[in-house]
Structure 1
Protein backbone atom coordinates (compact mmCIF):
# COMPACT_ATOMS: atom_id res chain seq x y z
CA UNK A 1 0.00 0.00 0.00
CA UNK A 2 1.37 3.41 -0.95
CA UNK A 3 2.13 6.05 1.65
CA UNK A 4 -1.03 7.86 2.84
CA UNK A 5 -3.23 5.27 1.07
CA UNK A 6 -6.13 4.11 3.21
CA UNK A 7 -7.03 0.44 3.67
CA UNK A 8 -9.66 -0.81 1.26
CA UNK A 9 -12.81 -2.56 2.57
CA UNK A 10 -13.17 -6.22 1.57
CA UNK A 11 -16.19 -5.51 -0.63
CA UNK A 12 -14.40 -2.87 -2.74
CA UNK A 13 -12.47 -3.96 -5.84
CA UNK A 14 -9.11 -2.25 -6.38
CA UNK A 15 -8.34 -1.96 -10.08
CA UNK A 16 -5.09 -3.29 -11.52
CA UNK A 17 -4.04 -2.80 -15.19
CA UNK A 18 -5.95 -5.87 -16.44
CA UNK A 19 -9.21 -5.19 -14.57
CA UNK A 20 -9.02 -1.50 -15.45
CA UNK A 21 -8.94 -2.35 -19.15
CA UNK A 22 -11.85 -4.76 -18.60
CA UNK A 23 -14.04 -2.11 -16.97
CA UNK A 24 -13.10 1.00 -18.96
CA UNK A 25 -15.99 0.91 -21.42
CA UNK A 26 -19.01 3.23 -21.11
CA UNK A 27 -21.66 0.49 -21.30
CA UNK A 28 -19.79 -1.82 -18.91
CA UNK A 29 -19.51 0.98 -16.38
CA UNK A 30 -23.24 1.74 -16.69
CA UNK A 31 -24.15 -1.95 -16.36
CA UNK A 32 -22.05 -2.37 -13.24
CA UNK A 33 -23.47 0.86 -11.78
CA UNK A 34 -27.05 -0.30 -12.44
CA UNK A 35 -26.44 -3.68 -10.77
CA UNK A 36 -24.92 -1.95 -7.74
CA UNK A 37 -27.71 0.60 -7.43
CA UNK A 38 -30.79 -1.45 -8.36
CA UNK A 39 -29.72 -5.00 -7.55
CA UNK A 40 -29.64 -8.22 -9.58
CA UNK A 41 -31.09 -8.21 -13.09
CA UNK A 42 -31.11 -10.05 -16.40
CA UNK A 43 -29.43 -8.77 -19.56
CA UNK A 44 -32.89 -7.95 -20.99
CA UNK A 45 -33.91 -5.98 -17.90
CA UNK A 46 -30.67 -4.03 -18.02
CA UNK A 47 -31.13 -3.41 -21.74
CA UNK A 48 -34.56 -1.90 -21.05
CA UNK A 49 -33.24 0.21 -18.18
CA UNK A 50 -30.26 1.56 -20.14
CA UNK A 51 -31.86 1.83 -23.60
CA UNK A 52 -29.50 -0.73 -25.15
CA UNK A 53 -29.98 -3.98 -27.04
CA UNK A 54 -30.05 -7.18 -25.00
CA UNK A 55 -27.31 -8.55 -27.26
CA UNK A 56 -25.00 -5.68 -26.26
CA UNK A 57 -25.82 -5.94 -22.56
CA UNK A 58 -25.38 -9.72 -22.62
CA UNK A 59 -21.97 -9.46 -24.32
CA UNK A 60 -20.68 -6.77 -21.94
CA UNK A 61 -22.02 -8.59 -18.87
CA UNK A 62 -19.96 -11.63 -19.93
CA UNK A 63 -16.92 -9.36 -20.28
CA UNK A 64 -17.52 -7.94 -16.81
CA UNK A 65 -17.85 -11.49 -15.46
CA UNK A 66 -14.55 -12.50 -17.11
CA UNK A 67 -12.87 -9.69 -15.15
CA UNK A 68 -14.64 -10.54 -11.88
CA UNK A 69 -16.92 -7.48 -11.65
CA UNK A 70 -20.23 -9.35 -11.90
CA UNK A 71 -21.34 -12.91 -11.24
CA UNK A 72 -24.35 -15.18 -11.65
CA UNK A 73 -27.13 -14.88 -9.12
CA UNK A 74 -28.26 -18.53 -8.93
CA UNK A 75 -31.05 -17.78 -6.43
CA UNK A 76 -33.02 -16.00 -9.14
CA UNK A 77 -34.36 -16.93 -12.53
CA UNK A 78 -36.06 -19.91 -14.05
CA UNK A 79 -34.84 -22.20 -16.81
CA UNK A 80 -32.42 -20.46 -19.14
CA UNK A 81 -32.98 -16.99 -17.65
CA UNK A 82 -29.61 -15.75 -16.38
CA UNK A 83 -29.51 -13.23 -13.57
CA UNK A 84 -26.44 -11.13 -12.79
CA UNK A 85 -25.31 -9.31 -9.67
CA UNK A 86 -22.37 -7.08 -8.79
CA UNK A 87 -19.47 -8.93 -7.21
CA UNK A 88 -18.38 -5.93 -5.08
CA UNK A 89 -20.06 -2.87 -3.58
CA UNK A 90 -17.53 -0.45 -5.07
CA UNK A 91 -14.47 0.03 -7.23
CA UNK A 92 -11.34 2.00 -6.45
CA UNK A 93 -8.55 3.09 -8.77
CA UNK A 94 -5.26 1.66 -7.53
CA UNK A 95 -2.32 3.58 -6.19
CA UNK A 96 -0.39 6.30 -7.98
CA UNK A 97 1.67 3.79 -9.98
CA UNK A 98 -1.47 2.92 -11.99
CA UNK A 99 -1.91 6.58 -12.85
CA UNK A 100 1.67 6.74 -14.17
CA UNK A 101 1.75 3.27 -15.73
CA UNK A 102 4.30 2.94 -18.57
CA UNK A 103 1.78 1.18 -20.86
CA UNK A 104 -0.20 3.80 -22.82
CA UNK A 105 -3.18 1.43 -23.09
CA UNK A 106 -3.44 1.38 -19.28
CA UNK A 107 -3.27 5.17 -19.09
CA UNK A 108 -5.85 5.36 -21.91
CA UNK A 109 -8.17 2.99 -20.05
CA UNK A 110 -7.80 5.08 -16.89
CA UNK A 111 -8.62 8.21 -18.90
CA UNK A 112 -11.73 6.53 -20.31
CA UNK A 113 -12.82 5.43 -16.85
CA UNK A 114 -12.37 8.88 -15.31
CA UNK A 115 -14.02 10.76 -18.18
CA UNK A 116 -16.97 8.35 -18.25
CA UNK A 117 -17.40 8.80 -14.48
CA UNK A 118 -17.46 12.57 -14.98
CA UNK A 119 -20.08 12.14 -17.73
CA UNK A 120 -22.25 9.94 -15.49
CA UNK A 121 -21.99 12.49 -12.67
CA UNK A 122 -23.03 15.30 -15.03
CA UNK A 123 -25.99 13.26 -16.31
CA UNK A 124 -27.15 12.44 -12.78
CA UNK A 125 -26.93 16.09 -11.75
CA UNK A 126 -28.78 17.17 -14.88
CA UNK A 127 -31.55 14.64 -14.17
CA UNK A 128 -31.88 15.98 -10.61
CA UNK A 129 -32.09 19.58 -11.82
CA UNK A 130 -34.74 18.61 -14.37
CA UNK A 131 -36.87 16.71 -11.86
CA UNK A 132 -36.23 18.39 -8.51
CA UNK A 133 -39.57 20.22 -8.53
CA UNK A 134 -41.30 16.82 -8.58
CA UNK A 135 -39.75 16.04 -5.17
CA UNK A 136 -41.11 17.18 -1.78
CA UNK A 137 -39.55 20.37 -0.44
CA UNK A 138 -37.77 18.39 2.31
CA UNK A 139 -35.70 16.64 -0.37
CA UNK A 140 -35.03 19.87 -2.25
CA UNK A 141 -33.77 21.43 0.99
CA UNK A 142 -31.53 18.41 1.66
CA UNK A 143 -29.88 18.63 -1.77
CA UNK A 144 -26.77 20.67 -2.49
CA UNK A 145 -24.79 21.96 -5.43
CA UNK A 146 -21.90 23.94 -4.00
CA UNK A 147 -18.36 24.76 -4.91
CA UNK A 148 -15.55 26.12 -2.77
CA UNK A 149 -12.17 27.61 -3.62
CA UNK A 150 -9.34 27.29 -1.10
CA UNK A 151 -5.57 27.66 -1.18
CA UNK A 152 -4.06 24.43 0.13
CA UNK A 153 -0.95 22.26 -0.06
CA UNK A 154 -1.31 18.71 -1.46
CA UNK A 155 -1.09 17.39 2.11
CA UNK A 156 -3.91 19.64 3.33
CA UNK A 157 -6.02 18.80 0.28
CA UNK A 158 -5.59 15.08 0.96
CA UNK A 159 -6.41 15.58 4.65
CA UNK A 160 -9.61 17.44 3.75
CA UNK A 161 -10.61 14.80 1.18
CA UNK A 162 -10.08 12.01 3.71
CA UNK A 163 -12.16 13.82 6.35
CA UNK A 164 -15.00 14.35 3.87
CA UNK A 165 -14.87 10.65 2.97
CA UNK A 166 -14.99 9.74 6.67
CA UNK A 167 -18.10 11.87 7.19
CA UNK A 168 -19.86 10.27 4.21
CA UNK A 169 -18.84 6.75 5.28
CA UNK A 170 -20.14 7.40 8.81
CA UNK A 171 -23.65 7.66 7.32
CA UNK A 172 -23.49 4.07 6.01
CA UNK A 173 -24.13 2.98 9.61
CA UNK A 174 -27.28 5.16 9.61
CA UNK A 175 -28.70 3.97 6.29
CA UNK A 176 -32.37 3.08 6.49
CA UNK A 177 -34.20 0.09 5.05
CA UNK A 178 -35.29 0.28 1.41
CA UNK A 179 -38.96 0.31 2.52
CA UNK A 180 -38.56 3.07 5.12
CA UNK A 181 -41.06 5.86 4.75
CA UNK A 182 -39.70 9.06 3.17
CA UNK A 183 -36.42 7.36 2.17
CA UNK A 184 -34.77 7.47 -1.25
CA UNK A 185 -31.38 6.58 -2.68
CA UNK A 186 -29.16 9.59 -2.04
CA UNK A 187 -26.24 10.28 -4.37
CA UNK A 188 -23.13 12.23 -3.34
CA UNK A 189 -20.55 13.32 -5.90
CA UNK A 190 -17.22 14.69 -4.77
CA UNK A 191 -14.96 16.48 -7.22
CA UNK A 192 -11.83 18.10 -5.82
CA UNK A 193 -8.83 19.22 -7.85
CA UNK A 194 -6.15 21.93 -8.12
CA UNK A 195 -6.46 24.70 -10.69
CA UNK A 196 -3.91 26.76 -12.52
CA UNK A 197 -4.01 30.40 -11.48
CA UNK A 198 -3.87 31.49 -15.13
Structure 2
Protein backbone atom coordinates (compact mmCIF):
# COMPACT_ATOMS: atom_id res chain seq x y z
CA UNK A 1 0.00 0.00 0.00
CA UNK A 2 1.29 3.45 -0.93
CA UNK A 3 1.76 5.78 2.03
CA UNK A 4 0.08 9.21 1.77
CA UNK A 5 2.30 12.02 0.59
CA UNK A 6 1.26 15.48 1.79
CA UNK A 7 2.24 18.21 -0.59
CA UNK A 8 3.43 20.88 1.82
CA UNK A 9 6.02 22.67 -0.31
CA UNK A 10 4.95 25.75 -2.28
CA UNK A 11 7.10 24.76 -5.27
CA UNK A 12 5.50 21.30 -5.39
CA UNK A 13 2.02 22.81 -5.21
CA UNK A 14 2.92 25.34 -7.91
CA UNK A 15 4.10 22.45 -10.08
CA UNK A 16 0.83 20.55 -9.62
CA UNK A 17 -1.46 23.58 -9.97
CA UNK A 18 -0.56 24.06 -13.65
CA UNK A 19 -3.33 23.21 -16.14
CA UNK A 20 -1.15 21.43 -18.72
CA UNK A 21 0.64 19.43 -16.04
CA UNK A 22 -2.71 18.27 -14.70
CA UNK A 23 -3.72 17.21 -18.22
CA UNK A 24 -0.43 15.31 -18.60
CA UNK A 25 -0.99 13.50 -15.29
CA UNK A 26 -4.57 12.59 -16.24
CA UNK A 27 -3.46 11.27 -19.64
CA UNK A 28 -0.70 9.13 -18.12
CA UNK A 29 -3.08 7.78 -15.47
CA UNK A 30 -5.72 6.91 -18.05
CA UNK A 31 -3.58 5.65 -20.94
CA UNK A 32 -0.38 4.50 -19.30
CA UNK A 33 3.22 5.38 -20.21
CA UNK A 34 3.89 7.86 -23.01
CA UNK A 35 6.62 9.96 -24.57
CA UNK A 36 6.58 13.75 -24.81
CA UNK A 37 5.67 13.39 -28.51
CA UNK A 38 2.73 11.09 -27.78
CA UNK A 39 1.50 13.46 -25.09
CA UNK A 40 1.96 16.47 -27.38
CA UNK A 41 -0.22 14.90 -30.07
CA UNK A 42 -2.85 13.71 -27.61
CA UNK A 43 -3.08 17.06 -25.81
CA UNK A 44 -2.66 19.38 -28.80
CA UNK A 45 0.66 20.74 -27.54
CA UNK A 46 4.20 20.73 -28.90
CA UNK A 47 6.49 17.92 -27.78
CA UNK A 48 8.85 20.63 -26.48
CA UNK A 49 6.14 21.93 -24.15
CA UNK A 50 5.17 18.48 -22.89
CA UNK A 51 8.85 17.54 -22.48
CA UNK A 52 9.47 20.64 -20.35
CA UNK A 53 6.42 19.99 -18.16
CA UNK A 54 7.32 16.31 -17.77
CA UNK A 55 10.73 17.35 -16.46
CA UNK A 56 9.08 19.74 -13.98
CA UNK A 57 6.76 16.98 -12.79
CA UNK A 58 9.69 14.53 -12.55
CA UNK A 59 11.65 17.01 -10.44
CA UNK A 60 9.08 16.41 -7.69
CA UNK A 61 8.49 12.69 -8.43
CA UNK A 62 4.97 13.24 -9.78
CA UNK A 63 6.05 11.29 -12.89
CA UNK A 64 8.92 8.89 -13.45
CA UNK A 65 10.82 7.55 -16.41
CA UNK A 66 10.19 4.06 -17.73
CA UNK A 67 13.75 3.02 -18.64
CA UNK A 68 12.78 -0.38 -20.05
CA UNK A 69 10.76 1.34 -22.80
CA UNK A 70 13.45 3.88 -23.76
CA UNK A 71 15.03 3.67 -27.21
CA UNK A 72 17.99 5.96 -27.89
CA UNK A 73 17.02 9.48 -26.86
CA UNK A 74 13.31 8.64 -26.61
CA UNK A 75 12.12 8.92 -23.00
CA UNK A 76 8.97 7.23 -21.75
CA UNK A 77 7.13 8.52 -18.70
CA UNK A 78 4.50 7.17 -16.34
CA UNK A 79 2.52 8.52 -13.43
CA UNK A 80 3.22 6.22 -10.48
CA UNK A 81 0.28 5.28 -8.27
CA UNK A 82 0.46 7.83 -5.47
CA UNK A 83 -1.73 9.10 -2.67
CA UNK A 84 -1.06 12.83 -3.03
CA UNK A 85 -2.77 15.02 -0.47
CA UNK A 86 -2.96 18.77 -0.30
CA UNK A 87 -2.45 20.42 3.08
CA UNK A 88 -5.69 20.39 5.04
CA UNK A 89 -5.56 23.94 6.34
CA UNK A 90 -2.64 25.88 4.90
CA UNK A 91 -2.09 29.13 6.77
CA UNK A 92 0.21 30.60 4.14
CA UNK A 93 -1.94 32.66 1.72
CA UNK A 94 0.03 31.50 -1.33
CA UNK A 95 -0.33 27.84 -0.31
CA UNK A 96 -4.06 28.32 0.27
CA UNK A 97 -4.45 29.98 -3.15
CA UNK A 98 -2.52 27.16 -4.85
CA UNK A 99 -4.60 24.47 -3.12
CA UNK A 100 -7.77 26.27 -4.24
CA UNK A 101 -6.41 26.58 -7.80
CA UNK A 102 -5.52 22.88 -7.87
CA UNK A 103 -8.95 21.92 -6.52
CA UNK A 104 -10.65 24.07 -9.17
CA UNK A 105 -8.60 22.43 -11.94
CA UNK A 106 -9.47 18.97 -10.65
CA UNK A 107 -13.17 19.76 -10.24
CA UNK A 108 -13.37 21.22 -13.77
CA UNK A 109 -11.62 18.12 -15.16
CA UNK A 110 -14.04 15.86 -13.27
CA UNK A 111 -17.03 17.73 -14.68
CA UNK A 112 -15.59 17.43 -18.20
CA UNK A 113 -14.90 13.73 -17.68
CA UNK A 114 -18.44 13.08 -16.45
CA UNK A 115 -19.94 15.06 -19.35
CA UNK A 116 -17.85 12.92 -21.71
CA UNK A 117 -19.20 9.78 -20.07
CA UNK A 118 -22.78 10.98 -20.49
CA UNK A 119 -22.19 11.98 -24.13
CA UNK A 120 -20.73 8.57 -25.04
CA UNK A 121 -22.69 6.41 -22.62
CA UNK A 122 -24.58 4.60 -25.41
CA UNK A 123 -21.25 3.31 -26.78
CA UNK A 124 -20.19 1.66 -23.52
CA UNK A 125 -22.20 -1.55 -23.76
CA UNK A 126 -22.49 -3.33 -20.41
CA UNK A 127 -20.52 -0.52 -18.77
CA UNK A 128 -23.15 2.10 -19.72
CA UNK A 129 -25.05 1.60 -16.48
CA UNK A 130 -22.00 1.09 -14.27
CA UNK A 131 -22.69 4.29 -12.42
CA UNK A 132 -22.84 3.66 -8.69
CA UNK A 133 -23.90 6.93 -7.16
CA UNK A 134 -24.46 7.88 -3.59
CA UNK A 135 -25.31 11.07 -1.82
CA UNK A 136 -25.42 11.30 1.90
CA UNK A 137 -24.63 13.37 4.91
CA UNK A 138 -22.84 12.47 8.09
CA UNK A 139 -22.68 14.36 11.37
CA UNK A 140 -19.06 14.12 12.50
CA UNK A 141 -16.33 15.98 14.30
CA UNK A 142 -13.38 17.28 12.33
CA UNK A 143 -11.24 14.40 13.63
CA UNK A 144 -13.91 11.89 12.56
CA UNK A 145 -14.06 13.45 9.08
CA UNK A 146 -10.30 12.96 8.75
CA UNK A 147 -10.71 9.34 9.88
CA UNK A 148 -13.59 8.83 7.41
CA UNK A 149 -11.40 10.15 4.59
CA UNK A 150 -8.48 7.90 5.58
CA UNK A 151 -10.80 4.87 5.53
CA UNK A 152 -12.11 5.87 2.10
CA UNK A 153 -8.53 6.20 0.82
CA UNK A 154 -7.63 2.76 2.19
CA UNK A 155 -10.58 1.25 0.31
CA UNK A 156 -9.61 3.06 -2.90
CA UNK A 157 -6.00 1.87 -2.62
CA UNK A 158 -7.15 -1.76 -2.43
CA UNK A 159 -8.30 -1.47 -6.06
CA UNK A 160 -5.64 0.83 -7.54
CA UNK A 161 -3.06 -0.66 -9.89
CA UNK A 162 -1.02 0.51 -12.85
CA UNK A 163 -2.59 0.09 -16.28
CA UNK A 164 -0.05 -2.57 -17.25
CA UNK A 165 -1.09 -4.75 -14.25
CA UNK A 166 -4.85 -4.54 -14.85
CA UNK A 167 -6.81 -7.52 -16.25
CA UNK A 168 -7.72 -7.30 -19.93
CA UNK A 169 -11.42 -6.71 -19.15
CA UNK A 170 -10.73 -3.94 -16.60
CA UNK A 171 -11.72 -0.35 -17.33
CA UNK A 172 -10.50 2.83 -15.75
CA UNK A 173 -13.28 4.03 -13.43
CA UNK A 174 -13.24 7.53 -11.95
CA UNK A 175 -13.97 7.43 -8.22
CA UNK A 176 -14.22 10.77 -6.45
CA UNK A 177 -14.60 11.72 -2.81
CA UNK A 178 -16.12 15.13 -2.19
CA UNK A 179 -17.07 16.25 1.29
CA UNK A 180 -17.58 19.70 2.74
CA UNK A 181 -19.22 21.16 5.84
CA UNK A 182 -22.74 22.42 5.30
CA UNK A 183 -22.92 26.04 6.45
CA UNK A 184 -25.35 26.60 9.29
CA UNK A 185 -27.73 29.29 7.99
CA UNK A 186 -28.47 30.49 11.54
CA UNK A 187 -24.84 30.81 12.61
CA UNK A 188 -23.32 34.28 12.64
CA UNK A 189 -21.06 34.90 9.66
CA UNK A 190 -17.57 36.41 10.19
CA UNK A 191 -18.72 39.82 8.93
CA UNK A 192 -21.97 39.69 11.00
CA UNK A 193 -20.19 39.82 14.35
CA UNK A 194 -20.46 43.02 16.31
TM normalised by structure 2 equals 0.78
Unaligned runs of 5+ in 2: 186-194
Match of 1:22 among 15, 18, 21: 15
Tell me the equivalent position of 1:148. Answer: 136
Deviation, 1:172, is 4.5
Tell me the equivalent position of 2:109. Answer: 120
Deviation, 1:152, is 4.0
Tell me the equivalent position of 2:28. Answer: 35
Match of 2:98 among 100, 109, 113: 109
* Aligned mates of 2:154, 2:31 — CA distance in 1: 25
Q: Alpha carbons of 1:133 and 1:16: their partners in 2 closer, same or farther (altered >3 Å)?
A: same
- Matched residue SS, 2:67: coil
- Matched residue SS, 2:175: coil
Q: How many residues align?
A: 183
Match of 1:161 among 129, 149, 152: 149
* Aligned mates of 2:65, 2:155 — CA distance in 1: 34
* Aligned mates of 1:168, 1:161 — CA distance in 2: 10
Tell me the equivalent position of 2:188. Answer: none
Alignment of 1:76-95 (within 5 A): 76-86=69-79, 88-95=80-87
* Aligned mates of 1:193, 1:26 — CA distance in 2: 24
* Preserved contact between residue 28 and residue 64 of structure 1 (Cα < 8 Å): yes
Deviation, 1:73, is 2.2
* Aligned mates of 1:164, 1:148 — CA distance in 2: 14
* RMSD between superposed Cα atoms in Å: 2.8
| More relative contact order, 1 or 2 (CA 8 Å, 6+ apart) | 2
* Aligned mates of 2:113, 2:12 — CA distance in 1: 25
Unaligned runs of 5+ in 1: 1-7
CA deviation vs aligned residue, 1:87-117 (integer Å, no higher than 9, x gap)? x312422543xx3232x32222212111111
Tell me the equivalent position of 1:4. Answer: none
CA deviation vs aligned residue, 1:42-66 (integer Å, no higher than 9, x gap)? 1110112222222221221121122
